Amino acid sequence: MIEPVAQTEKVDVVELRIPAKAEWVAVARLAVAAVASRSDFSVEDIEDVRLAIAEACTNVIRDAEPGAQIDIRCESERESLSVTVRGGAAVRLRVDGSEAGLGVIIIQSLMDSVEYRIEPDGVVLGMVKRVQPR
């Protein structure tokens, strides 16, 4: 008989790399939604994560060079999910009234914290969603 593993506080890491092309965004949002469903999120919260990740990927695609990739890293815990979306050096985060600016507003509204940083090999958008007490 297999003994149940004792539940301990742990972080599970899931990484995904997709081509920076429009047709792959659906794969990213489905995969990250599946990761989010491992935590204690409500259905609405999972939908929020799904949209925020899609917006982050779409933002990368807008500036992506041919052949570029998007790296997505999820750190899943029972009470939270951290996701980083890493794009190429040409990517910018727009905060204007454009379509891309709307995407940023959506991400900031749906996630609990959002961080944008520029690294030597590209830009990174980090987002955290926490389980709300019910």
Q: Which residues pair with 80 in a beta bridge?
A: 130
Least distance between other proteins and beta carbon 26 (Å): 4
Of 54-62, 73-81, 85-93, 112-120, the segment contacting other proteins by CB under 8 A is 54-62
Which residues touch 85 (CB under 8 Å, ≥6 apart)? Answer: 53, 56, 57, 60, 70, 71, 72, 124, 125, 127
127 binds other proteins (CB under 8 A): no
55 binds other proteins (CB under 8 A): yes
Residue number with CB closer to other proteins (83 or 110): 110
51 binds other proteins (CB under 8 A): yes
41 binds other proteins (CB under 8 A): no
90 binds other proteins (CB under 8 A): no
Whether residue 125 contacts residue 56, with contact meaning beta carbons closer than 8 Å, is answered with yes
Q: Which of 61, 40, 30 is nearest to 132 (CA)?
A: 40
